[in-house]
Amino acid sequence: MAAGPIISSRFPYLPVHLQFGQNEADVEALLDTGFDGDVVIPTSLMEDIDPDGHISWRLADGTQVTAPYYRGNVSVGGMGPLRVVITALGDEVLIGCGVAANFTITLDHGRELTVAP
């Protein structure tokens, strides 16, 4: 992992680099501390890629859903890569507790988000 912290002034989003199969994407991801998994990406990004399997999730409203997942890697602002499970669900990129637990994350008064190794 890289040594220095990254600071995002687009609170609560983080710059991330995703790699899954032969595909790569640099995106901003919403830090979602209510999500126990690793990474969620929009289903539209994965339409032509065969999943590694399917996984069940219980959403915040209690709804149970099954979604395709992909094994891949994520780097947060140059720190990483970390092996992750990427779930295709919804329409926004999310970083969950499975990734966040690998870093020290500071939320500064709703203005900045700092991530350090």
**Domains of the chain (ranges, CATH numbers):** 6-116 (2.40.70.10)
- pLDDT average, residue stretch 67-95: 94
Q: Are 42 and 90 in contact (CB under 8 A)?
A: yes
Confidence of residue 68 (pLDDT cuts 50, 70, 90): very high
Q: Are 14 and 26 in contact (CB under 8 A)?
A: no
pLDDT at 3: 55
Q: Which two tokens stand for residue 114?
A: 């700092």
Q: Is the pLDDT of residue 41 over 90?
A: yes
Distance CA 72, CA 80 (A): 12
Distance CA 66, CA 40 (A): 13
